[in-house]
């Protein structure tokens, strides 16, 4: 028998309360859920979660960042309280959602920081967002090249340990939780010897808030079918911070355990610097995939130190899409389409 169908249509069994109030922004195609804190007099930063993570994965980091930034943390479509959009989970759609969010909610140049697949979206924004929108982009341990089925460089998604997890998740849970075989998923992972840390009784909160169609979009390659990573990185238009976390090749399987290889980061750096943009690369082999979830102080300090090297917001604003826009201080709560969730 299928388990419960988690998601926005069943909020009572899906969601929990958090420290920060949540709001919904209507992008025209999807309702994008977000939380915000910090003063609009400070520089703006937009935080983009990784796969199977909602905005509240940044909750502890948001408090630290708010001393220095106006902070916006979002749920991507298909995660958290944001809309499920069957057949529409692609990097291009994710990126355009964030462009609309920045255009109508933040309304000024921003720093973006994204983890994992959110880091690929940060890369997309650094290349394809309108001029003057992105002051700088932090790629937090992103699977650049390694989440492509046919990458230009290095191991593909099929050569990563996480691919097997996503394949099992898609099969056992189904798009929009239409199968819902959680116990079967845990059993399959156990039989494969995967140390998932999952138990059969109930999904963790982050997975409850996740549309498993994401997993199918990644394993099928449809998520990036129109987003070649090498082409994307060759169009980067702002300074980049790349933090690379724990990674190794498993001896028994030969699979990559981690986001991407050192060689793949080398190639990303070549492409970005050839495009004429600064590329700051920091290696944290002792840090798990999510720095912001593991060590929010290190995450905050890393962003703060790097952000001091970026051009000022006023300089970025002068040459881009916000040149004639309102200042942050002039914004009012009813100046963009949103409503409380």
Instruction: Report the distance separating Cα 86 and Cα 274, nearest Å.
Output: 37
Grade residue 4 by pLDDT with cuts at 50, 70 and 90: low
Q: Quick one: tokens of 19?
A: 């420290």
Domain hosting residue 64, numbered range = 22-154+229-340
- The mean pLDDT of the chain is 92
Q: What is the CATH number of the domain that holds 34?
A: 3.40.50.1820
Is 52 in contact with 210 (CB distance < 8 Å)? yes
Candidates 152, 69, 119; CA nearest to 240 is 119
Residue 186 in any domain: the answer is no
Residue 57 in any domain: the answer is yes
Listed in sequence order, the residues at least 6 apart from 6 whose beta carbon sits closer than 8 Å to its beta carbon are: 13, 14, 177, 203, 208, 209
Tens digit of each residue's pLDDT (9 = 90 or more) over 92-136: 999 999 999 999 999 999 999 999 999 999 999 999 999 999 999
Tens digit of each residue's pLDDT (9 = 90 or more) over 160-209: 999 999 999 999 999 999 999 999 999 999 887 666 778 888 899 999 99
Give long-range contacts, CB 8 A cutoff, 24+ apart: 307-313: 307/43, 307/68, 307/111, 307/136, 309/239, 309/278, 309/280, 310/111, 310/135, 310/136, 310/239, 311/135, 313/43, 313/44, 313/108, 313/109, 313/135
pLDDT at 134: 98
Percent of the chain with pLDDT over 70: 93
Residue 317 in any domain: the answer is yes
Residue 138 in any domain: the answer is yes
Residue 329 pLDDT more than 80?
no
pLDDT at 231: 97
**What is the maximum span of the chain, computed from C-alpha positions, in angstroms?**
59
For 231-266, b/e burial (b = at least 16 CB within 10 A) is ebbeebbbbbbbbbbebeeeeeeebbebbbbeebbe
Grade residue 331 by pLDDT with cuts at 50, 70 and 90: very low
Average pLDDT over residues 229-249: 98
pLDDT at 191: 86
pLDDT at 333: 41
pLDDT at 324: 73
Residue 334 pLDDT more than 70?
no
Residue 85 in any domain: the answer is yes
Is 105 in contact with 336 (CB distance < 8 Å)? yes
Residue 224 in any domain: the answer is no
Residue 214 pLDDT more than 60?
yes
To the question of pTM greater than 0.75 for the whole model, the response is: yes
What's the number of domains the chain is made of? 1
Q: Quick one: tokens of 270?
A: 């070549």
pLDDT at 319: 80
Q: Which helix (H) or strand (E) holds 11?
A: helix 11-14
Residue 263 in any domain: the answer is yes
The alpha carbon dihedral of 276, 70, 93, 7 has a sign of positive
Average pLDDT over residues 294-309: 98
Q: Which helix (H) or strand (E) holds 279?
A: strand 279-283
Candidates 223, 235, 229, 325; CA nearest to 274 is 235
Tens digit of each residue's pLDDT (9 = 90 or more) over 6-48: 999 999 999 999 999 999 999 999 999 999 999 999 999 999 9
Residue 272 in any domain: the answer is yes
């Amino acid at each position: 028998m299928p388990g419960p169908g988690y998601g926005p249509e069943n909020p009572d069994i899906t969601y929990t309360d958090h420290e920060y109030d949540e709001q919904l922004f209507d992008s025209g195609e999807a309702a994008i859920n977000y939380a915000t804190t910090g003063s609009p007099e400070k520089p703006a930063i937009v935080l983009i979660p990784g796969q199977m993570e909602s905005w509240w994965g940044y909750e502890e980091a948001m408090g630290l960042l708010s001393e220095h930034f106006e902070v916006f943390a979002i749920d991507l479509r298909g995660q958290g309280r944001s809309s499920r959009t069957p057949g529409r989970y692609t990097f291009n759609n994710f990126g355009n959602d964030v462009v609309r969010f920045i255009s109508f909610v933040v309304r000024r140049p921003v720093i973006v920081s994204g983890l994992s697949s959110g880091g690929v979206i940060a890369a997309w924004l650094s290349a394809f967002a309108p001029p003057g929108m992105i002051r700088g982009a932090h790629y937090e341990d992103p699977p650049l090249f390694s989440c492509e089925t046919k990458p230009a460089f290095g191991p593909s998604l099929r050569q990563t340990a996480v691919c097997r997890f996503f394949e099992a998740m898609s099969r056992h849970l189904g798009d929009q939780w239409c199968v819902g075989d959680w116990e079967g998923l845990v059993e399959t992972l156990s039989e494969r010897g995967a140390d998932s840390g999952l138990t059969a009784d109930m999904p963790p909160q982050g997975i409850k808030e996740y549309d498993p169609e994401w997993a199918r979009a990644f394993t099928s390659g449809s998520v990036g079918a129109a987003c070649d990573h090498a082409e994307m990185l060759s169009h980067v238009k702002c300074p980049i911070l790349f933090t690379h976390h724990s990674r190794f090749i498993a001896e028994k399987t030969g699979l990559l355990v981690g986001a991407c290889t050192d060689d793949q980061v080398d190639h990303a750096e070549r492409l970005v610097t050839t495009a004429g943009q600064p590329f700051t690369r920091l290696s944290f082999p002792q840090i798990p995939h999510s720095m912001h979830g593991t060590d929010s102080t290190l995450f905050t300090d890393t962003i703060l130190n790097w952000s001091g090297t970026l051009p000022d917001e006023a300089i970025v604003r002068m040459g881009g899409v916000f040149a004639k826009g309102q200042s942050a201080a002039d914004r009012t709560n009813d100046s963009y389409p949103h409503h409380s969730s």
